[in-house]
């Protein structure tokens, strides 16, 4: 089925560990996004990409890195995990006309 595939669904990290959240879409969307959602708060943009090879920072990029080597994949890298990065992470994609937004299932990350 077409859509956004995000893995893993759950992860517990120790402080200082690193990990990569995977995101892939099969709709040939140019625009991809990573958001985090803290309890009781709205979605905050971490990084976004408007096409392969192009990425840019969102509102809350510190502590994260991304790459976009292909149109399909947009992984999010956490370096030196901190408790403040405990959150639910969502990957999303849209086409160039913003017709519809597709979201991954979310990753619940806990840093202890």
Partner 1 sequence: KNEVEQSPQNLTAQEGEFITINCSYSVGISALHWLQQHPGGGIVSLFMLSSGKKKHGRLIATINIQEKHSSLHITASHPRDSAVYICAVGGGATNKLIFGTGTLLAVQP
Q: Which residue ranges make up the site for partner 1 (CB under 8 A)?
A: 31, 33, 35, 41-45, 48, 50, 56, 58, 90, 92, 94, 96-106
d(C-alpha 22, C-alpha 91), whole Å: 9
Residue 83 CB, nearest distance to partner 1 (Å)?
21
- Specify the residue, 44 or 82, whose C-beta has the smaller distance to partner 1: 44
Q: How far is the CB of 97 from partner 1 (least distance, A)?
A: 8
- Give the count of beta carbons closer than 10 Å to the beta carbon of residue 108: 15
Nearer CB in complex with partner 1: 46/111: 46
CB of 16 to partner 1, least distance (A): 28
- Of residues 14 and 41, the one with the C-beta less far from partner 1: 41
Question: Which residues have CB under 8 Å from 104's CB, separation 6+?
Answer: 4, 5, 6, 23, 90, 91, 92
Q: How far apart are alpha carbons 6 and 17 in whole angstroms?
A: 20
CB of 106 to partner 1, least distance (A): 6
Q: With beta carbons less than 8 A apart as the criterion, state whether 98 and 38 touch.
A: no
């Amino acid at each position: 089925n077409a859509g956004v595939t995000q893995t893993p669904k759950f992860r517990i990290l120790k402080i200082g560990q690193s990990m990569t959240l995977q995101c892939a879409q099969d709709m040939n969307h140019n625009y991809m996004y990573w958001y985090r959602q803290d309890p009781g708060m709205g979605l905050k943009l971490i990084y976004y990409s408007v096409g392969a090879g192009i990425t840019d920072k969102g509102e809350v990029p510190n502590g994260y890195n991304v790459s976009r080597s292909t149109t399909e994949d947009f992984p999010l890298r956490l370096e030196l995990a901190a408790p403040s990065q405990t959150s639910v992470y969502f990957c999303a994609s849209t086409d160039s006309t913003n017709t519809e937004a597709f979201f991954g299932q979310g990753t619940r990350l806990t840093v202890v």
